[in-house]
Amino acid sequence: MAILKSSRTSAMLSIFISYFSCSSVLLVTASFQALPSPAPGPASFTFDLPLGIGALYTGLADGRIVRYQRLRSTFVNYGYTAPNRNQAFCDGTNNTFLAPICGRPLGLAFQFGTRRLYAADAAFGLVVIEPYGGPATQLATGVDGVRFRYPAAVDVDQFSGTVYFTDASTRFNLSQLSQLIRTRDTTGRLLKYDPNTRQVTVLLRGLAGPFAVAISSDRTYVLISEFIRNRIQKYWLTGPNANTAEVLLNVAGSPGNIRRTIRGDFWVAINVQTPTVVLRGQRINGDGTILQTETFSPDFNTTLITEVNEYGGALYLGSLYPKFVGVYKP
C-alpha cells in the first residue's frame, strides 16, 4: 500500500515537473505588451500566490505599491511605504529626492503562507505590508547603529520566513546612482533579517552595486549581483561552505535584479551600455550555466532594465523610468 502510494506520488510529481519544464520554452516569438502604470518606474515585481496563478504587484517611483487587476486591465493601489505619505503631493512623481517623503519601494517579495509583502525601500529600509495592503511597518532602518543608504533588493525564505536584502551602498543613495556607478563604489552589503529575533545581520560586505538577491529553491544559497563588477556571486547559507561566497558567473553587461523561476533557475536582468544600450535577460542555473539569452530592445525602450521576472508563462520587465511594465506573453 505504501509502495503504491509513493509510486503514484512520484508519477504525479514527474507530470508536474514535465508540465513546468515544457512551460519554460517561452519567447521570442512571444508578443510584447506594455501595461501602463499609474506612475513611472515599476522596478520589481512579486506575486501573491505560487504556481503562476497570483496577481502582479510592483513598486513605483512615487512610493506606491500597486496590484494589477487582470479583469479590468488596470493597476489599483495596494500599499505604501512612507508612514506619512501625502497622496496629493506624491502621486505620479518620479523625483527620487522626494523619496524620504513619498517612499520608493525598489525590491518586493511576498511570503505566500503569511501573505506578508516585504519591500526594500530606498528611503525607509526594510518594511512589511500586512495582508490586504495599506501602510507598511518599518522592520529595520539600519544595522550596527548606521542607517541603510540604498536598500535595493529583497527575497524571503518561504519556509523559515528569513528575509535577505541588500543595501547597495553605504555612501550613495538612489538619488546618487550616477555617482555610485562613476566612482565604482564597493560598499554594498548583503543583509539578513530574522523575523523571530528582529535582528539584522551583515552577511557580506564590499559588494559593487548589489541590486539583486535571490534565494535558491532548496534554500542552500542566495545569488547576489554586482552591477559595477558585471558578475553574480553565490553565497552559501548551509553546507561545508556556509557563510562564504564565490563568484558564480561573469556576465556581459551590468546585472540588475535576479529572480528565481518556478523551475528553480533564475532570470538576470542585464544592461549592456556600450556602444549602444542593449537590454537583455539571461536565464541561468545555480551552477552558473547560461540556459537562455533574450534581447528586449527595441520593444522595451528605456536606458536601464532592473528586472526580468518569469511568472505564469510570461516575462515581466522592470525599469526605473518608463510608465509601463513590459510583458512578453506566449
Ligand X SMILES: *[C@@H]1O[C@H](CO)[C@@H](O)[C@H](O)[C@H]1NC(C)=O
CA distance 81 to 72: 25
CA distance 260 to 63: 25
Largest CA-CA distance found in the chain, in angstroms, rounded: 66
Our CB check for ligand X shows the closer of 110 and 328 to be: 328
Binding-site member from 34, 35, 203, 262 for ligand X (CB under 6 A): 34
Binding-site member from 83, 142, 298, 330 for ligand X (CB under 6 A): 298
How many other C-beta atoms can be found within 10 angstroms of the C-beta atom of residue 165? Answer: 28
Our CB check for ligand X shows the closer of 189 and 234 to be: 189
Quick check: 308 and 267 in contact, CB under 8 A? yes
**What is the contact mask toward ligand X in residues 211 to 250, using x (rule: CB under 6 A)?**
----------------------------------------
Sheet holding 245-250, edge to edge: 213-215, 221-226, 231-236, 245-250
Closest residue by beta carbon to ligand X: 99
Binding-site member from 135, 170, 321, 329 for ligand X (CB under 6 A): 321
Secondary structure of residue 60 in the 3-state scheme: coil
State the minimum distance, in angstroms, from the CB of residue 174 to ligand X. Answer: 4
Instruction: Please report whether residue 97 would count as binding ligand X according to CB under 6 A.
Output: yes
- Grid cell at residue 96: 527620487
State the minimum distance, in angstroms, from the CB of residue 211 to ligand X. Answer: 14
Piece of the chain touching ligand X by CB under 6 A; list 69-77, 134-142, 276-284, 294-302? 294-302
Instruction: Please report whether residue 302 would count as binding ligand X according to CB under 6 A.
Output: no
Instruction: Please report whether residue 154 would count as binding ligand X according to CB under 6 A.
Output: no
Buried b (16+ CB within 10 A) or exposed e, 283-305: bbebeeeeeeebebeeebebebb
Q: How many residues does the chain have?
A: 330
CA distance 68 to 54: 10
Quick check: 204 and 189 in contact, CB under 8 A? yes
Secondary structure of residue 266 in the 3-state scheme: strand
- Grid cell at residue 18: 514535465
Piece of the chain touching ligand X by CB under 6 A; list 181-189, 266-274, 275-283, 293-301? 293-301
Piece of the chain touching ligand X by CB under 6 A; list 170-178, 202-210, 233-241, 244-252? 170-178
State the minimum distance, in angstroms, from the CB of residue 104 to ligand X. Answer: 6
Buried b (16+ CB within 10 A) or exposed e, 136-151: beebbbebeeeebbbb
State the minimum distance, in angstroms, from the CB of residue 150 to ligand X. Answer: 8
Q: Show contacts with ligand X in window 36-95 (CB under 6 A).
A: 40, 94
State the minimum distance, in angstroms, from the CB of residue 156 to ligand X. Answer: 23
Binding-site member from 46, 173, 254, 257 for ligand X (CB under 6 A): 173
Binding-site member from 48, 231, 301, 314 for ligand X (CB under 6 A): 301
Contact set with ligand X (CB under 6 A): 34, 40, 94, 96-97, 99-100, 104, 122-123, 173-175, 298-299, 301, 321
